[in-house]
Chains A and B, each alone.
Chain A
């Protein structure tokens, strides 16, 4: 026969394990979808010189994504060189698991061929893509990227494009995990790539 003391212990242990189970369940339920920024960014399909390119084409790879334009003389080359250096610092087995994407916010001047040549110059794993202005506006809005054409008075430049200079690091499922602020150093990009490659 079960003594009251035994019963009490059994009930307590039972409740404790139920509590632990619920707590563990809660932890996984809360933490899994919360990693990264699943509500920002998201899917897109744009054009490249070799045909349409979708973000989902790179499932299983870590994607470094940057928005810019090819007439940008300093900021974009600085960012893309940093990205390229970060790629080159990876060991061969990891280098094949990263993809760079350069989305032009200046489709008016950036033809697909021009973009391909531009992006490929920095690193063969960086792809230059763009679309029509409405598509670019819709995508940049989702990624929280600002861009604005600015007429350069008294300048021969015609116009420049003000734009956010951030490199987005997306995990193997295309979810934003890191925002790397403008820098001429590859260190932060490299660290973010490594972090995501290890998952």
Chain B
């Protein structure tokens, strides 16, 4: 069972892996929680990255791009669940309102990791650089996982 203490440790760890922003600005105000990427069959050259962006600032920020050494290209995508039909679409940016958060999670917004250079294996970590509207960046260490492990369903 997950306790409050575990949760806070997890939170601190998550913050710890969100390396200090390189450029300041938006990247200083947007905290990144629980970054992870999906392990995929070796035959696949695409995967998806997920995380939660928390805007601690007083103005809106936007995630405008992402990159990683693990993939040739990263795009920002979303899924629209249109009455059971999943429509994947590219988005220009992912806005985060002040004091609010944006969740990139299975079935919705995600970082589309394309042209993977090597298969992603569960347990490994990949560095993902997030770029915000003012050009500032933040590096996060995303754990590769087989599937989503929502905190609420930990037993």
Q: Is A173 an interface residue (CB 8 A)?
A: no
B87 touches A117 (CB 8 A): no
Complex Cα–Cα for A155 and B73 (A): 10
Majority secondary structure of chain B interface residues (helix, strand, loop or mixed): strand
A80 nearest in chain B by CB position: B41
Q: Is A77 an interface residue (CB 8 A)?
A: yes
Q: How far is the CB of A116 from chain B (nearest CB, A)?
A: 9
Q: Looking at chain B, what size class is its interface with the partner chain?
A: 20 to 34
Instruction: Give me the interface of B with A, judged by CB distance under 8 Å.
Output: 38, 40-44, 46-48, 73, 75, 77, 79, 81-82, 84-90, 106-107, 110, 112-115, 146-148, 150, 153
Instruction: Identify the stretch in A16-24, A31-39, A160-168 within 8 Å (CB) of chain B at 4 or more residues.
Output: A160-168
Q: How far is the CB of A189 from chain B (nearest CB, A)?
A: 14
The number of residues on chain A lying at the interface, defined by a beta carbon within 8 Å of a beta carbon of chain B, is 32
A162 touches B107 (CB 8 A): no
Q: Is A70 an interface residue (CB 8 A)?
A: yes
Q: Mark A173-199, 1 if CB is under 8 A from B, else 0.
A: 000000001101100000000000000
Cβ contacts under 8 Å, B115 to chain A: 156
28 contacting pairs across A/B (C-beta < 8 A): A70-B44, A71-B44, A73-B44, A73-B46, A73-B48, A73-B110, A73-B112, A73-B113, A74-B48, A74-B88, A75-B79, A75-B88, A77-B40, A81-B146, A117-B42, A118-B43, A150-B88, A154-B90, A155-B90, A156-B75, A156-B114, A156-B115, A157-B114, A160-B88, A162-B86, A164-B85, A164-B86, A184-B148
